[in-house]
Chains A and B, each alone.
Chain A
Amino acid sequence: MNLKMWIPTLLLIVSAAATAAKTDLDYARLRASLNDLAADPALGKLAPAERALAEQAVQAVAEKGGNGKEHAHLVYLAERRVNIAYATAQAIDQERRLDKLDREHDQILLAASRHDAEQARLEAEKQRIQSLAQAEETERLRAEADAARAQGEVSAQDAVLARKQAEQTKRLADAQAKEAALSRKEAQLLADAAAADARSRPAAAAAAPAATPAGASRQMVLNDTAFAPGAATLRPEARSNVSSIVAFVNRDRSKQIRIEGHTDNTGNANADLVLSQRRAEAVRDALVGAGVDARRITTFGMGQAQPVASNSSEDGRAKNRRVDVILEDR
């Protein structure tokens, strides 16, 4: 009798343990993968927002691992969130490598151009010295010719002399022109390199990203002076504005945050779509960095699709290049 009662109980315990073990298996696998990413020396510090989202998705698997269907759904989401965190961190890592390679490329060109200019300077100097020697020689020959003419002999020496002199003058002029052209090129490359540097470190740019005063509204706008042209990283001076956005979104923590990037209608539409998405993500990363819950935030790149002003004037285009931060009901 006792035994008959125990068998079903034992079976129940075993099956429950098996389900729990499977849940733990999925969770353990995702958790380990995420820990590996965090511990990775190259990737660990990159893509914090994507990592936070993956973290929450994995946590949801552990917490709500209940029935089969919902559990499978949560594992599905968590698995992809972890992959997104990996792919994004790797992409950022590659983007940094690309930046470095671009700088190297500029350096090589600059070195080549300096080398060319140096060669040209040496060549010009050589020509100048030759020209001096030639002038001396000419002078000597002329003196001889004069002496000869004085003796009544009109020699062919004069003609030869004049030709030699003309040739030498032309060579000198050529060398000097080449040197001048190369110097100009070098100056241009230096200017380009300086401009590239300025683009990557726009610290001194006087950008005043105007976030519209929030008041009771549900939306804030970060205008495009917060970003360098064509770039998707927030300028250091725009980071102070992030704190006002943080204050704005934290007034009501029950609201979802929708971040939309927008561009004007200049440039390639697809590229603008990607740029606007990146800018929205940059704002999201800044918010997450300031402690805003990543689960509340969704980002969208709208590209050129939703202008707020006419694209026919520079003013209008500047208004259209923006990032909207919108509070939404859940």
Chain B
Amino acid sequence: MTLLPAKIHRPVAVFFCLLLAACGPTKPPPMGIEDATRQLQAAREAGGSTYAPLEVRSAEERLSMARAAAGKKDYEDALQFAQESQVNSELALAKSRLGKTREKVEARTRENAQLRQDLSTNPDSAGANSQ
């Protein structure tokens, strides 16, 4: 049982067409999703969930919207959502930095006041207490 040349050639041609398509430029335009993901990770690690929960949540929402848009090949929307996610993460980072520093300032202020008080009420042992 021999196959007709056309019957062999057709699948081979189809195969090569598919191969060509697969090797073609399939890379979508850059959408900033990677950068936005990294920035969100940094915001979380800097304590964003504590100091800027709203911004972190917005960043998460926009990032998943960006991914969904990219999945639908809607690259323009994906880029916009990724940018919006990233800016929220950056804001969360800045707010976390502010929140943490404020806490440290408050703690140090209390500590210094306590130390001064110890010194004035009990001058002989203040130095020892503070160690």
Contacts and interface: CB of A to CB of B under 8 A. Distances in A.
Interface residues of B, number: 35
Given A73-B80, A113-B127, A273-B45, A104 B112 contact: yes
B87 A88 contact: no
B101 A84 contact: no
A84 B90 contact: yes
Contacts of B83: 73, 77
Interface in B21-56: 35, 38-39, 42, 45-46
Nearest to B102: A94
Contacts of A83: 91, 94
Given A77-B84, A84-B91, A300-B38, A112 B127 contact: yes
A88 B38 contact: no
Given A109-B115, A112-B126, A73 B98 contact: no
A119 interface: yes
A105 B115 contact: yes
Nearest to A276: B42
Nearest to A86: B94
Interface string B87-107: 110110111011001101100
A101 B109 contact: yes
B108 interface: yes
Size category of the binding interface on chain A: 35 or more
A108 B112 contact: yes
B42 A119 contact: no
A115 B122 CA distance: 12
A97 interface: yes
Interface of B: 35, 38-39, 42, 45-46, 80, 83-84, 87-88, 90-91, 93-95, 97-98, 101-102, 104-105, 108-109, 111-112, 115-116, 119, 123-124, 126-128, 130
**Closest 3 A/B residue pairs (Cβ):** A112-B127, A87-B94, A91-B98
23 contacts: A73-B83, A73-B84, A80-B91, A87-B97, A87-B98, A90-B98, A91-B101, A94-B101, A94-B102, A98-B101, A101-B108, A105-B108, A108-B112, A108-B115, A108-B130, A112-B119, A113-B127, A115-B123, A115-B126, A185-B127, A270-B46, A273-B45, A300-B38
Given A87-B97, A101-B108, 9 more contacts: A76-B84, A77-B84, A80-B88, A80-B91, A91-B98, A94-B98, A108-B116, A112-B123, A115-B123
